Structure 1
Amino acid sequence: MFLRRALACSRLLHRVALAPPLVRRYSPTIYKPDGTTHAVKEELTPLAKHIRDTVLATGPISIAQYMQLALTSPIGGYYTRGQVFGREGDFVTSPEISQMFGEVMAVWYVMHWEMMGRPAKTVFVELGPGRGTLMDDIMRASKRFQSFYASIRSIHFVEKSPELRKLQHDKLGCDWNVTATVGDKNDTGKTPLSSASQRHGGVEVGWHDVLEQVSVDGDCVPLVMAHEFFDALPIYKFEKGANGQWSEILVDVADSNAAPVLPASPAQLRGSLQSAGDDSNASHFKFVRARGVTSNAAMVLRDQRFDSLFDKGDRVEVSPESARVMIQLADWISTNNGMGLIIDYGADWTQGDTFRGIKNHRFANPLTSPGSMDLTADVDFSYLRFAANGRAKCYGPIEQGSFLHSMGIQARLQQLLQSTNDSKVQKDLVDCYKRLTDVHSMGRVYKVLAVLPNSSSGSPVPFAQPTAESSSKPEAASP
């Protein structure tokens, strides 16, 4: 069975081979903690002043609230900026590295569309579409499969940032003047379809602030993609005390004595709580431990598994917003007989010290210069599976390198290498392939999770059938 599926992947990718190599030339980047030191306080920007005033007025705030303000505030939030991706931005995503990534994803959707009986109507829904590169590559590759492409009725982007919406619009070659400007709202409060895509044969493209605003016809099968979406959703952080109670880790003004300073963590994991501590004196903010049990701790950690799986001194990062989105996504996919892929960096267990900033392709203190960097935390895939349990079937996660190899990325690489005699282009193609698949780069840290309806039978390519135990509960961090 697996061999037949592998051969099918190879045949499908061969049909994509007519597309020429798209040279993006993003050299491999190794993220390293920033060792820069600062002796004086950084500039107090309007956003930093707003966060400071909020803390002074209400007391220390949750990390989740800090993330929301730093990333999406209209007075300087990170995602209100335009160029946050690529070499000129702060980080590079897999679709920006190579066209092969999006082409492989297109093949996955085509293969499972055929396995589902080739439904006549489909819609693509992408959560957090970045610059639109991934969907652009998926649609371009999909044109090689005429019946599948003919089934696509519309594309829906779940994206709040006006600046990123403009980039997505330009990438897909949409005409702004067809209907309402992005951001306008109709009488129902929903963002209408903003334009029609001229580049992809007139397929309508719509933008929405949240998944709840996406509305499709009942006979349309949703094809969902969430690539590097869940890692940016707000998290709460907690630490288990000697008395067995969980204390919340909060953000306070650096010169405030409202709460004791959080002691250094023994686990300094990739830009974690103290990873960029060398410049902590420059920040206007600091981490503190709540004096008592907060309402967040009481609500988020009320499940007994958190008491049974963790010991005193352990920290956990939990994203209730991720669970909420996953529940809705699972219900939607099952109700509409759709399919989805979730691709992100993370682990299949709960971790405690992964919250960090990313700036200029390096890890940075997440409390420094709010609004100037991306804030992120590793995705807890076990938590997503737990949220979807009983609502939809989850498969995986499996490592990105394993997924791409199983789907035939090596065959696609050979096709692209044979299509050009330019040695520099060939070298770039190989470098990009290695970066996507190598265990020392993106191949291992990034994971892929598939979501299918409860009514589906058999496991999707290239996933194994999940066990009852893996679907029932999140796991503790590995020792």
Structure 2
Amino acid sequence: MTDTPLSAKLKAQIRRNGPISVDTYMSACLHDPEHGYYRRQPAIGAGGDFVTAPEISQAFGELIGLWAAVVWQQMGAPERLHLVELGPGRGTLMRDALRAARVMPRFRAALAVHLVDSNRTLRKAQADTLSDAGVPLQFHDEAAALADRARVPAGPAIVVANEFLDALPVAQFAYADGGWRRRKVALGDPPEETFRFVPDLETDMLPAALPTNREPREGDIFEVCEEHGRHAKEILGARARLGPLAALFIDYGHAATGFGDTLQGVAGQAHVSPFHAPGETDLSAQVDFQHFGQECRGTGLAVDGPLSQAELLGRLGIIERASRLMAANPARAAEIEAGVARLIAPNGMGSRFLALGVRSQDMGPLPGFES
């Protein structure tokens, strides 16, 4: 573990008040106002801690742009549309999406683009990347802006979120001696006082949304993202009351709720301990798409999927798109082919990443999710 300003702050908090829950630790590491990872550094790209799908291939963002244009038609081609991206990184996905959407001028003319990101450093990169986008741009610090008509006025909205849900804090529970106990982060013995996981022995609780495929076993870890319900109800559900809503979530995760510890740290494009350099390490956890989908349905929204990333991109025509790009750019043909292959690799991103569609009840299945 590397000492950082945030680790010193968290150690002082634990010494003063006792162990903190895993979701509290994760939230502090990512969003602490002074030292949180997403508050202070650009993380994405070849020189960052991780590389996302839009950075791997322009075809990814282009297909999302064309997908959004088809959804707009499905909504009845309204004259005004809010196109929202949650966690837009450096703006690469939106840049590629808007470029591809030029084939539908009426769609582009209808757009007001909203970029939601708490990272001020990345916000500058987004503004630079989209400086010639040719559509109105608005920047927001939090996803709650979607439900605030003062910031995002009433009207139809399409929301895109690639690798957004995995950064929402997860609570962890450990099964021991026939009961569930919330997992916490404590300090080891001095002088090192390294962070370590401990069960809260004073509470015996039954977490919501437990897996149903088998009974828990001694030592099982169960994760639940309590933010799923808030995002489904207070953001997506509230937005749907302001106009037709369609949303696309793509992230790494699992289709069915299960047991397991998926909390991980990533630094320099390598997996590290969640306790490595707090505030300077990206933390994430696999998305439980079954749980998120249930929370969305519970607020009155319809849900499509999940599908594997490979299946969705295949249905949207990524192979054909790559062929056209290779024909137009023969010098980059090998690079284009390799990037697309990485996105749909059956033992890699193609199967580990899943896609979920969320929509207003009166809309039909979203493009790519039709039976």
**TM-score bracket for the superposition, by shorter chain length:** over 0.9
2:221 corresponds in structure 1 to 315
| 1:417 paired to 2:323 | no
SS in 2 for 1:237: strand
Moved more, 311-320 or 399-408: 311-320
For residues 223-251 of structure 1, what are the alpha-carbon distances to aligned partners after superposition, in whole Å with 9 as ceiling and x for unaligned?
A: 101111110011110022232x2111111
Aligned to 2:137: 204
Contact 1:283-1:367 within 8 A present in 2 as well: no
CA distance in 1, matches of 2:164, 2:24: 17
Written as runs of structure 1 = structure 2, the 5 A alignment for 1:221-236 is: 221-236=156-171
Aligned residues: 364
Partners of 2:109 and 2:135 within 8 A in 1: no
- 2:342 is matched with which residue: 435, 441, 451? 435
The question of 1:366 aligning with 2:302 is answered no
1:83 matched to 2:19? no
Query: Could you tell me which residue of structure 1 aligns to residue 180 of structure 2?
Result: 246
* 1:147–1:233 Cα change, 3 Å: same
Deviation at 1:217, TM superposition (A): 2.8
Structure 2 residue aligned with 1:339 = 246
- Matching of residue 328 in structure 1 with residue 286 in structure 2: no
Distance 1:254 1:134, change over 3 A: same
Alpha-carbon distance in 2 for matches of 1:162, 1:421: 37
Larger Rg: 1
C-alpha separation in 2, matches of 1:102 and 1:426: 18
1:166 aligns with 2:75: no
Give the SS at the match of 1:389.
helix
Q: Which amino acid aligns with 1:357?
A: G
How many Å separate the matches in 2 of 1:320 and 1:56? 26
CA distance in 2, matches of 1:239, 1:307: 17
List per-residue Cα deviations over 1:162-203 (Å, max 9, x = no partner).
112122122111xxxxxxxxxxxxxxxxxxxxxxxxx12241
**In structure 1, which of residues 399, 402, 406 is the aligned counterpart of residue 315 of structure 2?**
406
- TM-superposed CA distance for 1:52, in Å, is 0.4
Give per-residue Cα distances to partners, 1:363-413, cap 9 Å, x unaligned: 111112111210000000001111011410000010001111110111111
Shift of 1:49: 0.5
2:211·2:257 contact (CA, 8 Å) conserved in 1?
no
Q: State the Cα distance separating 1:341 from its structure 2 match.
A: 0.2
Q: Take 1:115 and 1:44, find their aligned partners in 2: how far apart are those partners?
A: 52
Give the equivalent residue in structure 1 for 2:153. 217
SS in 2 for 1:143: helix
Deviation at 1:112, TM superposition (A): 1.9
Letter in 2 for 1:290: D
Which residue in 2 is equivalent to 1:445?
Answer: 352
Q: Which aligned pairs between 1:181-192 and structure 2 lie closer than 5 A?
A: none
Displacement of 1:454: 1.0
State the match for 1:129 in structure 2.
88
Alignment equivalent of 2:4, drawn from 23, 45, 50: 45
In structure 2, the gaps of 5 or more residues are none
- Over 3 Å counting, the alpha-carbon distance change for 1:118 and 1:43 in structure 2 is closer
CA contact (8 A) 1:242 1:312 kept: no
Cα deviation for residue 306 of structure 1 reads 5.8
Identity score, percent: 32
Distance 1:122 1:433 in 2: 30
Alignment partner, residue 188 of structure 1:
none
Cα distance in structure 1, aligned partners of 2:212 and 2:350: 33
Q: CA deviation at 1:362?
A: 1.3
TM-score (norm 2): 0.92
The alignment partner of 1:418 has SS state of helix
- The question of whether the paired residues in 2 share the 8 Å contact of 1:348 and 1:382 is answered with yes
Match of 2:262 in 1: 354
Cα RMSD for the two superposed structures: 2.1
Quote the Cα distance in structure 2 between the aligned partners of 1:205 and 1:233. Answer: 23
